Amino acid sequence: MHSANVFQKSFLLGDALAFESLISARKEAMISEYIDKIKSGGSLQVSEAEQCLNTILEKDVPDRQIAELLIALSEKGESADEILGFAKALLARSRLVPLPTNTIDSCGTGGSGLNR
């Protein structure tokens, strides 16, 4: 009876790994489609950009694909819809930080171009 349980657990683990591999391959294919769309001069819709960044943030995309995507976006120039989709994905993952009242953030982003 014990060996049957081990076999069953082993079989289920194999199924789970195969399923995980299939999902991972599908996510890589989806990112490849987005890269191709961008390289051909197209822009991602808001929902596509959001899904794209969510997939990246879930660590389901190889570094080489992330680099290829970022280079393609940089060369084409990011559209408003792409920026909005990426922002929505980041906002959905943001967390409120409990702070005392009357707290001031004195750290700038450095984006002003001013030497202060």
70 inside domain: yes
pLDDT digits (tens, 9 = 90+) for 80-105: 999 999 999 999 999 988 888 888 77
Half-sphere exposure of residue 18, counting CA atoms within 13 Å on the CB side?
6
CA 62, CA 24: separation in Å to the nearest integer? Answer: 10
Please check whether residue 108 lies inside any domain of the structure: no
Domain that holds residue 41: 17-93
Read off the pLDDT of residues 27-82 as tens digits, 9 standing for 90 and up. 889 999 999 999 999 999 999 999 999 999 998 889 999 999 999 999 999 999 99
Q: What is the pTM of this model?
A: 0.70
With respect to residue 28, please indicate whether it lies within any of the assigned structural domains.
yes
Do 31 and 52 form a contact (C-beta atoms < 8 A)?
yes
Counted domains in the chain: 1
In a domain, 116, yes or no: no
Cα(83)–Cα(47) distance, integer angstroms: 11
9 within domain boundaries: no
List the CATH number of the domain containing 29.
1.20.970.10
